[in-house]
């Protein structure tokens, strides 16, 4: 069956070209530090990262008259530019249907707990503005003939607040924001890896980066000094933390860098895991219509024998097929959905096949096989919610591939671009790490615990235990804007940075280079292999107390060894990666320290993680299998009211907790009373009033 949408339209939504960067202006100032001739770049605000969050910050601040430089490891790399799912989701207030209620939306955003209530409200109330401004910049969000935005329902979303331009929504966001940044003349320093913050007198003074462009005989690693009184960390999430990952390659984020600067991190225990194709091939989420088409899911063992393993879990073919469908909008694993034969039993089953050394596939040319003793798959035997959806979508075709083509031809097109024809061959996939909900602890203006440092996007730990699908992109846009508003109001970015003491820079350069020791036993490959395996094996969606504690001890041992011996790099071009792996080892210890604290205090299964324990009170059931080994602890309600904070103090990671910030839902804004705070800038809560 052919798609009703002409090929050129599909092409335009899948192949999204990015703008060309203009040539970079060479540094005009140099400083000799520790025998190195360092180029100096001065600005008012240094933005680390050119994803959707960083570019939003840049555009908003530049429009407010701020001096801005964006430094990026890879200008069109990162998660926003390179990842997606069947239709990538943007979560925004539902302004087109029957109206929305920002308080209700904020409640939905923080429904999983461990989230500051003010931040949830800020994200809700800011979302309509974010969407409208992206549309103004040219983001092609779909509308009905009356101008209403088309919506659908996504994960943790009971109302239908999701919208999308297709699988490349976040890449399109990066494109329109990049075009605007270039129109405004924002300098983008590409191939620039920011590796250390420069701190003076308790506040940030800038950062040190490694830049290919600045490699020279007097500076073989290309160390550059980027001076700015405000620094925005918008470097995305720690995608390299796990071996089993659906992040694009090379996503490190800046959690380790922040820890080294003594910045507080929060909610590191909370990550999303779900099904997708791994980054070794083409990393992509298998949510939405990929599973709503109800493909056959099976595994293959070492002998090449196929196993329709899901039939051992579900009690009827209808239950099995309906739960495959529900993974479309219940995409992330959730421990409680392993119970009562619900949809996360599928994630567990796939995870177990992986543990048994089997490869798992999705076949769009076959319907699910029947559960033994039950009738064959039929579109007439599906749960009512599933049947209604497929009926409304016109997906009554006999085969999954034709149902998928009917509902979302772009989903097929996308894989074809990467030489995988899911119309012709089965697709291998796994349960992978996809998103870090925690990160740098920020207030309602995106300020971190270090004066002058802000965070936005996935770098910021603004999400709680769960988040509606699309809330990550929305949070990056809302907080990119909030940060820009705050930096502009503070006035620090109106002119490029001033003087910084010689001693400050010398110390920072020495600390930056200290871990780099050629000829060492630890190198990029060994640290990567050790960190990723440990995280995937002991801190993934299935955990237990002994495994987490053991993993923490090993992570500490690795960091002690790295501190004593450093990390090798084989050529100047690998030095930045070596520093990133050094920092990733620290970030991994911080995640494990938070998780160990949570589990040791009796914390139960929540979000995308099941805490398995012999004394657990919940046991997933399966039709023909004993799952007692996955008996898990239930979530404790009190844990929803607080967040776990990790900070490096005197070279040690300290773990503590703090209550969620509250938001008074009954307080109403009142124009005449509140206007002066806006006019005077009092609402920015700047030091000194």
Binding site for ligand FAD (CB under 6 A): 48-54, 71-74, 77-80, 83-85, 88-89, 170, 192-194, 234-237, 246-247, 251-252, 254, 276, 283-285, 434-435, 457-459, 469-473, 476
- The CB-of-522 to ligand FAD minimum distance in angstroms stands at 20
- The CB-of-55 to ligand FAD minimum distance in angstroms stands at 8
Strands 359-363 and 542-544, bridge-based pairing: unpaired
- The CB-of-262 to ligand FAD minimum distance in angstroms stands at 18
Looking at the DSSP assignment, which residues form a beta bridge with residue 277? 284
Judged by beta carbon, residue 469 or residue 616, the one nearer ligand FAD is: 469
Phi-psi region of 393 (alpha: psi -120 to 50; beta: other; left: phi over 0): alpha
CA distance 84 to 470: 11
For residue 622, what is the DSSP state? -
* Cβ within 8 Å of residue 379, ≥6 positions away: 387, 390, 396
Judged by beta carbon, residue 44 or residue 256, the one nearer ligand FAD is: 256
- The CB-of-132 to ligand FAD minimum distance in angstroms stands at 17
Judged by beta carbon, residue 127 or residue 285, the one nearer ligand FAD is: 285
Q: What is the largest CA-CA distance in the chain?
A: 78
- The CB-of-674 to ligand FAD minimum distance in angstroms stands at 31
Judged by beta carbon, residue 457 or residue 616, the one nearer ligand FAD is: 457
Judged by beta carbon, residue 132 or residue 379, the one nearer ligand FAD is: 132
- The CB-of-128 to ligand FAD minimum distance in angstroms stands at 16
Distances (CA, A) of 429 to 82, 226, 251, 563: 18, 42, 20, 37
CA distance 363 to 298: 8
CA distance 440 to 237: 10
- The CB-of-625 to ligand FAD minimum distance in angstroms stands at 30
Judged by beta carbon, residue 72 or residue 318, the one nearer ligand FAD is: 72
Judged by beta carbon, residue 400 or residue 470, the one nearer ligand FAD is: 470
402 token code pair: 């034709």
Contact 102, 124 (CB under 8 A): yes
Q: Is 64 helix (H, G, I), strand (E, B) or coil?
A: coil
Judged by beta carbon, residue 288 or residue 620, the one nearer ligand FAD is: 288
Number of DSSP helices (H) and strands (E) in the chain, helices first: 19, 24
Judged by beta carbon, residue 165 or residue 593, the one nearer ligand FAD is: 165
* Cβ within 8 Å of residue 304, ≥6 positions away: none
CA distance 427 to 421: 9
Judged by beta carbon, residue 237 or residue 368, the one nearer ligand FAD is: 237
Helix crossing, 384-392 with 317-326: angle to 10°? 60
- The CB-of-72 to ligand FAD minimum distance in angstroms stands at 4
- The CB-of-274 to ligand FAD minimum distance in angstroms stands at 9
Strands 188-189 and 68-71, bridge-based pairing: parallel
What's the half-sphere exposure (Cβ side, CA atoms, 13 Å) at 88?
24
Looking at the DSSP assignment, which residues form a beta bridge with residue 433? 245, 273
158 token code pair: 């009971």
* Cβ within 8 Å of residue 325, ≥6 positions away: 291, 292, 294, 382, 386, 389, 390
- The CB-of-331 to ligand FAD minimum distance in angstroms stands at 9
- The CB-of-29 to ligand FAD minimum distance in angstroms stands at 21
Judged by beta carbon, residue 328 or residue 469, the one nearer ligand FAD is: 469
């Amino acid at each position: 069956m052919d798609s009703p949408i002409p090929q050129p339209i599909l092409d335009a939504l899948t192949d999204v070209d990015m703008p060309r960067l203009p040539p970079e202006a060479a540094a005009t100032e140099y400083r000799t530090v520790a025998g190195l001739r360092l180029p100096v770049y001065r600005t008012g605000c240094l933005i680390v990262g050119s994803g959707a969050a960083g570019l939003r910050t840049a555009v908003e601040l530049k429009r407010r008259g701020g001096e801005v430089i964006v430094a990026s490891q890879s200008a069109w790399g990162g998660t926003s530019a390179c990842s997606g799912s069947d239709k990538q989701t943007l979560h925004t207030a539902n302004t087109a249907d029957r109206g929305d209620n920002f308080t209700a939306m904020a409640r939905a955003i923080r429904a999983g707990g461990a989230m500051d209530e003010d931040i949830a409200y800020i994200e809700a109330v800011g979302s309509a503005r974010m969407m409208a401004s992206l549309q103004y910049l040219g983001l092609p969000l779909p509308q009905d003939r009356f101008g209403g935005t088309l919506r659908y329902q996504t994960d943790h979303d009971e109302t239908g607040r999701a919208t999308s331009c297709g699988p490349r929504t976040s890449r399109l966001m990066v494109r329109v924001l990049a075009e605007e940044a270039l129109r405004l003349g924002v300098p983008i320093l590409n191939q620039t890896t920011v590796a250390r913050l420069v701190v003076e007198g308790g506040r940030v003074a800038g950062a040190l980066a490694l830049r290919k462009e600045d490699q020279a005989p007097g500076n073989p690693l290309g160390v550059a000094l980027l001076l700015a009184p405000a620094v925005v960390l918008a470097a995305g999430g720690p995608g390299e933390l796990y071996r089993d990952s659906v992040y694009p390659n090379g996503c490190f984020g800046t959690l380790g860098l922040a820890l080294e600067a003594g910045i507080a991190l929060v909610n590191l225990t909370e990550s999303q895991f779900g099904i997708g194709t791994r980054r070794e091939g083409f990393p992509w989420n298998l949510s939405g219509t990929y599973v709503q088409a109800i493909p056959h899911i099976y595994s293959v063992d070492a002998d090449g024998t196929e196993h329709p393993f899901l039939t051992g879990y579900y009690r009827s073919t209808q239950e099995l097929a309906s739960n495959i469908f529900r993974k479309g909008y219940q995409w992330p694993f959730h421990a409680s959905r392993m119970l009562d034969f619900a949809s996360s039993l599928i994630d567990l089953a796939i995870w177990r096949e992986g543990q048994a050394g089997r490869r798992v596939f999705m076949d769009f040319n076959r319907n699910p096989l029947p559960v033994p003793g039950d009738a064959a798959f039929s579109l007439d035997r599906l749960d009512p919610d599933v049947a209604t959806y497929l009926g409304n979508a016109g997906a009554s075709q006999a085969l999954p591939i034709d149902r998928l083509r009917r509902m979302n031809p772009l989903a097929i097109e996308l894989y074809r671009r990467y030489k995988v024809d899911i119309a012709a061959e089965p697709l291998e996939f796994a349960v992978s790490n996809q998103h870090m909900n925690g990160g740098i602890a920020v207030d309602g203006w995106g300020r971190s615990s270090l004066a002058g440092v802000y965070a936005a996007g996935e770098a910021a730990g603004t999400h709680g235990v769960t988040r509606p699908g699309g809330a990550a992109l929305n949070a990056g846009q809302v907080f990119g804007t909030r940060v820009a508003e705050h930096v502009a109001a503070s006035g620090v970015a109106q002119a490029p940075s001033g003087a910084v003491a010689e001693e400050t820079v010398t110390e920072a350069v020495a600390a930056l280079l200290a871990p780099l020791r050629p000829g060492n036993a630890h190198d990029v490959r060994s640290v990567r292999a050790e960190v990723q395996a440990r995280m995937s094996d002991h801190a993934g969606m299935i955990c237990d107390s002994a495994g987490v504690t053991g993993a923490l001890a090993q992570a500490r041992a690795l960091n002690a060894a790295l501190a004593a011996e450093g990390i090798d790099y084989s050529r100047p071009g690998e030095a930045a990666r070596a520093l990133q792996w050094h920092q990733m080892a620290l970030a991994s210890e911080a995640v494990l320290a938070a998780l160990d604290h949570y589990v040791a205090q009796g914390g139960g299964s929540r979000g995308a993680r099941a805490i398995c324990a012999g004394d657990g009170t919940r046991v997933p059931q399966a039709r023909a299998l004993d799952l007692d080994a996955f008996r898990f602890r239930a979530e404790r309600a009190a844990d929803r009211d607080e967040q776990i904070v990790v900070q490096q103090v005197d070279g040690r990671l300290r773990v503590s907790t703090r209550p969620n910030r509250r938001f008074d839902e009954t307080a109403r804004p009142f124009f005449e009373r509140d206007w002066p705070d806006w006019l005077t800038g009092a609402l920015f809560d700047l030091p000194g009033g």
